[in-house]
Amino acid sequence: MANQLSAFATELQCKRGAVSNINKILEEKMERLEAAKGKYAATKWRLSNEMSAQDKLESANKGAEGEFQESESYMTEVEKEIRNKKEILFKESQTLFRLRAE
């Protein structure tokens, strides 16, 4: 009986040591899990901020494109007007030349 009791006590000590080791490993893994959760939350927050910044930039880009197209159409109109004025000036110069020649 004494031998059995001694064997059980030794086995109990071994199992307690194993349980202690498993608890330490579990605590380390829980700490790593918490750190990973914090990192995930920070990354998710940063992604959210980047997405909102991207949306703002895209809307600003659309506005700038609209203004650019508006400017191009205005420039085209001005160029047409300049060509028309040059043609009128040329015709008037010819008329003036003819009148002076007469």
pLDDT at 2 over 90: no
Structure tokens at 16: 């307690």
pLDDT, one tens digit per residue, over 39-77 is: 999 999 999 999 999 999 999 999 999 999 999 999 999
Q: What is the pTM of this model?
A: 0.55
Which residue bears the tokens 């007007």?
81
Q: What is the distance between the alpha carbons of residues 50 and 52, in angstroms, rounded to a whole number?
A: 5
Give the total residue count for the chain: 102
Q: What is the distance between the alpha carbons of residues 12 and 10, in angstroms, rounded to a whole number?
A: 5
Which residue bears the tokens 């307690």?
16
pLDDT, one tens digit per residue, over 90-101 is: 999 999 999 999
pLDDT for 38 equals 97
pLDDT for 21 equals 97
